[in-house]
Amino acid sequence: MATGRTPAEFTTALRAREQLIGYWSLLDSPIAAERLARLGYDYLAFDAQHGLFGYQGMLNNLLATDTKDSTAVGIVRVEANDPTYIGKALDAGATAVIVPLIDNPQDAADAVAAVRYPPLGRRSYGPMRAQLRIGPNPADAHAQTAVLAMIETADGLANVEAICNTDGLDGIYVGPSDLRLALGGATSTDPSVQQEFDQALTRISKAAEAAGIAAGIHNPDGTNAAKRLAQGYTFATVSCDLIHLEQAAAGHLTAARQAGEAR
């Protein structure tokens, strides 16, 4: 099993563009997070934008991620590019925040400012739980926490090079479903825009590489995650707990019915 990284070690690895693999969580289940954190993933990402939990759920799942023998740090996709949401996630102990719907360099700069304390930014001081593991001094918090800008819109793609060169930005993260829709797809998996989608992914990863920042992407499975890492992405997230729960349950149901019908 992989050994766990401290928040400082994770952020250092992320900024160094080392390959990292994470898992996505939509469900408010700290018990599940506790188990997932021990599997060898480098991070667990808790989705406060589309996930099925509020602040208390986010806090509880971050706590569960710090269980004995955990290999993962907890990161959070925040609800919006807003200092309140970003600050609360960091105060709760998130090692990194993924900020959605970044369209231009100003959006990215606003996200960075929300993560950094003055004079580098405008984060309000009150680390609460975070002070036990991250910081609590501002300089330590800056060294140990990361901010990731989502590239998922037509404007975000058009401005990706400028976004990647935003001072203080640690990395970008591709939202493939929204990006495919932004490229004209009728659905989040529409194959008719596959060529444009693949070209966009190449452009995004090259922009991050040129700027020297991390490039991440969400993936439907581990095989696809390995493919993206081989293509130049530096961190990759695998599917999510809700989808895997449904897939596993459906698979067992099908097997049980087939066994019964064979009798």
Residues designated as active site: 50
d(CA 176, CA 182): 10
In angstroms, what CA-CA distances link 41 with 91, 115, 138, 145?
Answer: 23, 24, 28, 18
On the CB side of 172, CA atoms within 13 Å amount to 40
Per-position b or e across 80-112, b if 16+ CB within 10 A of its CB: ebebebbbbbbbbbbbbbbbbbbbbbebbbbbb
On the CB side of 85, CA atoms within 13 Å amount to 18
User: What is the SS3 assignment for 180?
Assistant: helix
- Contact partners, residue 47, CB within 8 Å, separation at least 6: 24, 25, 26, 76, 77, 240
DSSP state of 9: H
d(CA 55, CA 78): 10
d(CA 119, CA 256): 61
Which one, of 145, 215, 213, 115, lies nearest residue 173 by Cα? 215
